[in-house]
Amino acid sequence: MGPLSQRERGLILPSTEDRLRLKPEDSPADATSRRGARPATAPLAHAGAVVERPPSALTPWEQVQLARHPERPYTLDYIGALFEELVELHGDRLFGDDPAIVGGPARFEGRSVMVLGHQKGRDTKENAHRRFGMPRPEGYRKALRLMKQAEKFGLPIISLVDTPGADPTLPSEERGQALAIAANLLEMARLRTPTIAAIIGEGGSGGALAIAVADRVLMLEHAIYSVVTPEGCASILWKDVGLAPEAAASMKITADDMARFGIVDGIVPEPAGGAHTDPATAARALGDALRCTLEELDRVYGVGEALDAERLLHDRFARYRRVGAIDGSDE
């Protein structure tokens, strides 16, 4: 499978049109489809019928190309389309500001929230600045600062995930990349405010997870989520980056896989051919999914002063406590 020389090839497939997908005007409760029941959290179980979708017509490697499509909407595109009054906050108060992570308080559907996410660059110059959305420790520490602030002021957190992985360079190592990620994982597991993460493009490794531990995790239809990039996997296991397409298939990294494994709670449908073909529709679908997920969290855990934080933390802990596949377990 070649790189994405012809954008349409393999992307707008006839079967894509035929896929069961929900339009934004459908009831918001149905804006997310889900497979693979996870009764213990049953996050979206109330949200109407589970929508069964035929298996994707795309190969996993084609999904990778779509998730990385240079015209795919990025975090700031979605924020621009779905959020109002964003005040972008900067800096980790320790070392610097990392443009690979953006965020701040904003209004979503009339309500104050904290929104943050990885930000890739649109061109070479911007990518030099944002390092392709690969955060350094100061990015993770900024994200944590924003999340702690959200907790302090009782704002729900919406986190948009789109990174190949954490920045793997010496400056990041010198400033404690591993410990910055670990600190986020620790704190996100116990933030006393509702949290939603949405994988909008690449969910790459610990660099993605460091802002993706949440009460509910959504995933765009053509996003990917993996423990390491397909190239990394191919290089480590087979010493051949050229085998990345095989690695992409072996690792099971598509939205359908994640729903089946119970790693994500809902799949957000994309316009036929991928989010980049119609960013406005893609944003509307994500907006619908975020709104109905927030409403569901409100109903289950209460809002503002009435928030049952103990139960929220209990359920979030349970979600991550049970994840894994051991022999004799049900996975």
Residues that bind other proteins (CB under 8 A): 166, 168-170, 172-179, 181-183, 185-186, 189-190, 205-206, 209-210, 213, 225-228, 232-233, 236-238, 250-253, 257-258, 261, 263, 317, 320-321, 323-329, 331
CA of 20: how far to CAs of 50, 51, 92, in Å?
12, 8, 44
By C-beta, is 22 or 248 nearer to other proteins? 248
* Amino acid making up residue 81: A
Give min distance, CB of 257 to other proteins, in A.
8
Across the strands, what pairs with 101? 118
By C-beta, is 111 or 190 nearer to other proteins? 190
Give min distance, CB of 278 to other proteins, in A.
28
Q: How many residues does the chain have?
A: 331
By C-beta, is 1 or 237 nearer to other proteins? 237
By C-beta, is 20 or 318 nearer to other proteins? 318
CA of 41: how far to CAs of 174, 278, 322, in Å?
39, 33, 11
Give min distance, CB of 106 to other proteins, in A.
26
Give min distance, CB of 291 to other proteins, in A.
25
Give the largest Cα separation in the chain, rounded: 55
Q: Which of 146, 142, 133 lies closest to 95, judged by CA?
A: 142
By C-beta, is 153 or 317 nearer to other proteins? 317
* Dist CA 114 CA 87 (whole Å): 10
* Dist CA 255 CA 257 (whole Å): 5
Give min distance, CB of 282 to other proteins, in A.
23
Structural element, H or E, at residue 107: strand 101-108
